[in-house]
Structure 1
């Protein structure tokens, strides 16, 4: 039966499928510092089971310099707004001169966060939906950090993580 169906081109998918949504791959190019930044956050495990700290890191695409970072007990858009606003002010970025690339996490897609980027004149660039490798620079930096020989698999407390991050990030 399958041979006959195949010969008559009747053996394909019979259900209606949603067509593939082809999103363009984000292409960022920086020829000098402070033209493009990438940022993401990672979880740092603590000794208490199920308790994590959030490490936010903003990195310059051209120089791979960490322009801002923050360690927090929680993850939300207000903290990401604070981090980006402080970094933007610290480096005196003129409106329209910076592209900020991030994935599609909840803090990165919140309306209040995107409104802040608009007010600052920062161009927002996001990863494609359901694609995990569009923010490769940030992910690579986190993997390098977590594979350091002195990286503790679990931090004793917030201050322990803060001391370790200061040594690594700065």
Structure 2
């Protein structure tokens, strides 16, 4: 079995799918811009696929789904989880590549009301932040292990995202605090401004 797999299966590259984000990776507040992507993880029982959704304000992974297929339903599940976790119906922009999962009708239904943005063809830099996260996940953690199966992969990903990346790992973008702490500082500052105005 080859040690890699293709997760982006090209769809229609018409002008319908525009790059609204245009590499503007630093929104001023949470839930302004989310980005999403799929990466593969090799196990001894075959590939599994991680769909992640990141809030670009804090670089926090707000939703993730691990699956054993590339069906659109797993991307839809990740979107629905993100909306529930963040208690919002829509961010201003949701950015992805142009893979068929992100241009499918079910995805359009799940993201109704959102402004969808798409990377240019074969240009991963348009989605650099989520691409960078997936690289970090593999380099800092996943590549240390010989992963036996889906359950093993799930436990490793859960530990990295929920117990390290979002909560402990510092980011230069976040003034050298974790994504959770960076968002916490934002909400504290916002509440203080509201009190001062009142």
* Shorter-chain TM band: 0.7 to 0.9
2: CA distance between counterparts of 1:94 and 1:105? 23
Deviations 1:96-140 (A, max 9, x none): x4311111112111122113212xx21111101232321100111
TM-score by length of 2: 0.66
Q: 1:150 to 1:27 in 2, by over 3 A?
A: closer
Q: Do the aligned residues in 2 keep the contact of 1:45 with 1:153 (CA within 8 Å)?
A: no
| Equivalent of residue 82 in structure 1, options 50, 55, 77 | 77
- Structure number with the higher helix fraction is 2
Structure 1 gaps, min length 5: 1-20
Two-structure CA RMSD over aligned residues (Å): 2.1
1: CA distance between counterparts of 2:55 and 2:144? 26
- Structure number with the higher strand fraction is 1
**SS class of match (2:44):** coil
2: CA distance between counterparts of 1:163 and 1:131? 31
2: CA distance between counterparts of 1:162 and 1:149? 13
Q: 1:101 matched to which residue of 2?
A: 95
- Pairing 1:33–2:25 present: no
Q: 1:18 matched to which residue of 2?
A: none
**SS class of match (2:85):** helix
Q: 1:161 to 1:32 in 2, by over 3 A?
A: same
**What stretches of structure 1 move > 6 A for 4+ residues in a row?**
none
How far residue 90 of structure 1 moved from its aligned partner, in angstroms, is 2.3
Q: Do the aligned residues in 1 keep the contact of 2:141 with 2:160 (CA within 8 Å)?
A: no
TM-score by length of 1: 0.76
2: CA distance between counterparts of 1:45 and 1:150? 9
Q: 2:62 matched to which residue of 1?
A: 67
Structure 2 gaps, min length 5: 1-14, 163-198
How far residue 144 of structure 1 moved from its aligned partner, in angstroms, is 1.0
Count residues with an aligned counterpart. 144
Larger Rg, first or second structure (1 or 2): 1
